[in-house]
Amino acid sequence: MRAYTTDTDAVDLVSPDHLLAVANSAVAARGPVMLYLELEGGTVMAAGLGSPETVLTFWLSDGSGSYHSLGNVERKDYLVFRSRYESGTFVGEMALPAEAAMVALREFLATGERPACVTWEADR
């Protein structure tokens, strides 16, 4: 599984500890940032790191579905994370506590599946 924040900084993950080191390095270098984990087949999960809250996204490699985290659907604000080479704005209803990011990323690293520890909503 590869981890990256841009097209030029991909690393192959070797363990959950390595994932944590890569995540911490990404935040130190870029501030609030989306970290992408990609399976060899192309399925991708991304998590917003470096903020008190996170947003999570998940795309199946075959194009059959994409999902985002679902927090409080009444929220109408926005969160901003550096996403690849620009700032990405994410709706507040996607927000989860920051701790959820690493739990979900570790689950994805271990299983290669959409993490069950998160409430997901299918993208429209």
Full residue range of the structural domain in which residue 9 is found: 2-122
Q: How confident is the model at residue 71 (pLDDT cuts 50, 70, 90)?
A: very high
Of 54 and 9, more confident: 54
- Mean pLDDT over 21-26 rounds to 94
What are phi and psi for residue 103, nearest 5 degrees? -60, -50
pLDDT of residue 124: 83
pLDDT of 10: 93
Tell if the pTM clears 0.75, that is, is over it: yes
Q: For residue 1, give every residue at least 6 positions away whose Cβ sits within 8 Å of its Cβ, in sequence order, or none.
A: 12, 13, 37, 38, 39, 40, 109, 112
Query: DSSP secondary structure string, 51-87?
Result: SSEE-EEEE-TTSS-EEEE---TT---EEEEEETTEE
Residue 119 has pLDDT above 90, yes or no: yes
Strands 44-49 and 33-38: antiparallel
Q: What is the pLDDT of residues 77-113, one digit of tens each?
A: 999 999 988 999 999 999 999 999 999 999 999 999 9
| Number of domains making up the chain | 1
Mean pLDDT of the chain: 94
CA distances from 50 to 3, 32, 116, 121 (A): 16, 4, 23, 23
